[in-house]
Chains A and B, each alone.
Chain A
Amino acid sequence: MANKLINQMGLPKSIANIFTARNVITAKDALSHTEFELMELLDVGKEEVTSAMAHVSEVVCPPCQTALLLLEQRVRNECMAGHLPTRLKGLDEALCGGIPFGVLTELVGPAGIGKTQFCLKLSLLASMPANCGGLDGRVIYIDVESKFRSKRLIEIGINSFPEIFLKKGMAQEMAGRILILRPTSLSEFAESLHQIKVSLLQQQVKLLIIDSMAALVLGERDCGASRQQALGWHVSFIKSLAEFSRIPVVLTNQVRSQIGDESRMYSFQAQSRSIIKDNPATYDSHLVAALGINWAHAVTIRLVLEARSGQRFIKLAKSPISPALAFPFKITSSGMVLLDDDGVEMKGPEISTINCQGLSLSSLAVSSAEYFLTKNT
């Protein structure tokens, strides 16, 4: 919309020509000036500028929808009212049916906690036929850390949906619908994003997974402001991708340890800071999401996967549609399984902290050993 040509908007010929003559070609050019600047630039009176800009604005401005219309559209056009069920009963109930279409859902957690397992399960669910409760579509899986294991995918499939996967040829069909991309740099990723945008419309792609966003961004050599800016661009692109093709987008994020005195406070809270610093309880929670606050604003749903005294939990750390709940889970041969479907509500900073205590070392060792083995072969 922003790149619409001004001389095709039905303005009076005389004024449209002035815009063209001063090299103000698109609506974006015109709207990037204040009205006073335009008066100077185009050398016309205030009234003409105001009326011309009112016209341009009306053409460019997005259409108005009432919330009721949005809801009706969603119910009418989309299976399961725009949610991809995770088949984890408690989580689905809390999220009003599953991972919502059209927004970004993020998984944060320490290595080996089960983020990739969750992603594998989701890609199976999206590729399953509609009569089995799936989305009956293709999946694009962007695998930055080379963690995708087809073998594990099939294993999860056979264990969770034996009736489908043991049918002849079904496993091949399911796995054939999942496309894995392995970009090595952010620029390569950006290129494939543009291709994905085209193929999303042509093919029946129903799910986009990026595992992991953090590895992609943090792998870049330049840091600081330029990285933030690059991230900003990618975030808005992925968001618009999710929204206009109305598919769920799932991204994973790593954790890092909090750097010494990284206070999360406003200046007006300064006086209370010393109290918190002395509080030994906060000492343990020293993990934070690797991508910072600007990224966190962009995701609509954040699921934190963590371990507390040996027990794994999945937490709804940010969600506009449900209270902050935590569910204990374990990883089995059929993927993630919730131990309790009711969940416990959390309060305060506990919602967003990421714990990694007593996560049994053997499982970490196994996954890292597996990683080295596959790397060497």
Chain B
Amino acid sequence: MEVGMLPISASKRGKLLAAGYTTLDAIARASPTHLARDIDVSDSEASEILSLATKASSALERERPNGTHTAVVGGGQTAWDMLNEEKFSSCITTSCVDLDNILGGGIKCKEVTEIGGVPGIGKTQIGIQLAVNVQIPQEYGGLGGKAIYIDTEGSFMVERVLQIAEACIEDMAEYSHQFHKDFQACDVKVHPNNILENIFYFRVCSYTEQIALINYLDKFIMENKDVKIIIVDSVTFHFRQDFDDMALRTRLLSEMALKLMKLAKKFCLAIVMLNQVTTKYVEGSFQLTLALGNWSHSCTNRIILFWNGNERHAFIDKSPSLKSASAPYSVTTRGIRNSTSSSKRIKMM
């Protein structure tokens, strides 16, 4: 039923059907006054329906295969084009080489990545590190973008951002020193304050605000085009409180995930969702699992952080293109780094 495709209210749709307008063609052929009389609406409303119908029917026309068009279905993209596009899609480094290696270069733009782990494993640390790293200028192999940090738990600490930003600038200076030994003037012109200035921080206090914010982000990013990463810390926190209707919760979460995915594609940015873990009783024992597990169908990649002996490890739990692997990393005063880097302080006992 073609009328069902029109973005109009249910009652108008009902009236159209009752008056015998079932195809778009039939509506498009009618005159506004005729239509207004038939379905008992004002002239302006009728002409609005008409224009929607013509638009929809011409769109349908375009999609119909008639030999001359290469695209079989409008709005689609061939796998070959996608491959070419993916080659140029950019990555945000995690500052940990081992982790970057298993991720194929870092956190990918245009994709949604979920990162989960037990309390204190370093989820927020990775979030902050990415918010800083997205700003590494293009000369240094970064994206030179800005970051949006959505904080649902209140765990964002500015002092820590400053520490990580300072360390990042030091690293850049060292890098430029190595590569331009002949030049004297190779100072990094970035100041930690510039990095802090480019992190847009939103504190969300309820699930309503969270949904509202994600609706609003589209407009916000239009105004701040340079945003290259959105970090949500943590995505499920408010949805785990005050909800009785579980079906509603699932619907809202999946709508939100869809909107985020749309943002990722539209503005070519990376989405990182941090998630908490909870315990679940499976086959006679307690197991750790990510909170609201079934919702994560909607994210492309999932990384789980865990303790492996004395080291922190990251494990790729789900990804359409990367093979499942794990890599060690460590959280230092300077941020996320390779775990082999020896720390100055001695190990206890």
- Interface of A toward B, CB cutoff 8 Å: 1-2, 27-28, 31-32, 34-35, 37, 39-40, 42-47, 53-54, 56-68, 70-71, 74, 96, 100, 102-103, 229, 232-233, 236, 239-240, 242-243, 261-269, 292-294, 296-300, 302, 317-318, 320-323, 325-326, 343-352
A293 touches B304 (CB 8 A): no
**What per-residue 1/0 map shows which CB atoms of B209-229 lie under 8 Å from chain A?**
101110110111000000000
In this complex, what residue of B is CB-closest to A345?
B345
Q: Which residues of chain B are within 8 angstroms of A267 by Cβ–Cβ distance?
A: 282, 287, 289
In the bound complex, how far is the Cα of B345 from the Cα of A136, in angstroms? 37
Known contacts: A27-B212, A28-B208, A262-B286. The answer to whether A349 contacts B345 by CB under 8 A is no
The stretch that binds A, out of B73-81, B193-201, B260-268, is B193-201
A317 touches B202 (CB 8 A): no
The stretch that binds A, out of B28-36, B90-98, B102-110, B155-163, is B155-163
In the bound complex, how far is the Cα of B11 from the Cα of A325, in angstroms? 66
Query: Quick one: which of B157, B159, B255, B317 contacts A34, CB cutoff 8 A?
Result: B255
* Count, A-B residue pairs, CB within 8 A: 224
Q: Which residues of chain A are within 8 angstroms of B197 by Cβ–Cβ distance?
A: 66-68
In the bound complex, how far is the Cα of B242 from the Cα of A236, in angstroms? 10
Q: List 7 A-B contacts (CB under 8 A).
A: A1-B205, A28-B208, A43-B11, A61-B216, A70-B201, A233-B242, A243-B203
Cβ of B300 within 8 Å of any chain A Cβ, yes or no, is no
Q: Which residues of chain A are within 8 angstroms of B349 by Cβ–Cβ distance?
A: 350
A32 touches B252 (CB 8 A): yes
A293 touches B241 (CB 8 A): no
A61 touches B240 (CB 8 A): no
**What per-residue 1/0 map shows which CB atoms of B161-205 lie under 8 Å from chain A?**
111000000000000000000000000000001001111111111
B125 touches A323 (CB 8 A): no
Q: Which residues of chain B are within 8 angstroms of A322 by Cβ–Cβ distance?
A: 333
Known contacts: A71-B196, A293-B119. The answer to whether A32 contacts B345 by CB under 8 A is no
In the bound complex, how far is the Cα of B242 from the Cα of A100, in angstroms? 28
Query: Quick one: which of B153, B288, B315 contacts A239, CB cutoff 8 A?
Result: B153
B286 touches A302 (CB 8 A): no
Cβ of B140 within 8 Å of any chain A Cβ, yes or no, is no
Interface core residue of A236, A317, A344, A346 (most chain B CB under 10 Å): A236
Minimal beta-carbon separation of A299 from chain B (angstroms): 8
Cβ of B311 within 8 Å of any chain A Cβ, yes or no, is yes
The stretch that binds A, out of B16-24, B64-72, B273-281, is B273-281
A323 touches B241 (CB 8 A): no
Q: Which residues of chain A are within 8 angstroms of B213 by Cβ–Cβ distance?
A: 57, 61-62
B201 touches A300 (CB 8 A): no
Query: Quick one: which of B202, B252, B345 contacts A62, CB cutoff 8 A?
Result: B202
Known contacts: A62-B213, A67-B201. The answer to whether A296 contacts B119 by CB under 8 A is yes
A70 touches B285 (CB 8 A): no
B155 touches A70 (CB 8 A): no
Q: Which residues of chain A are within 8 angstroms of B287 by Cβ–Cβ distance?
A: 263, 265-267
A349 touches B347 (CB 8 A): no
B347 touches A346 (CB 8 A): yes
In this complex, what residue of A is CB-closest to B275?
A297
B346 touches A344 (CB 8 A): yes
Minimal beta-carbon separation of B334 from chain A (angstroms): 10
Cβ of B118 within 8 Å of any chain A Cβ, yes or no, is yes
B306 touches A266 (CB 8 A): yes
Q: Which residues of chain B are within 8 angstroms of A323 by Cβ–Cβ distance?
A: 331-333, 343, 345
B193 touches A68 (CB 8 A): yes
Known contacts: A40-B10, A71-B196, A96-B159. The answer to whether A297 contacts B276 by CB under 8 A is yes
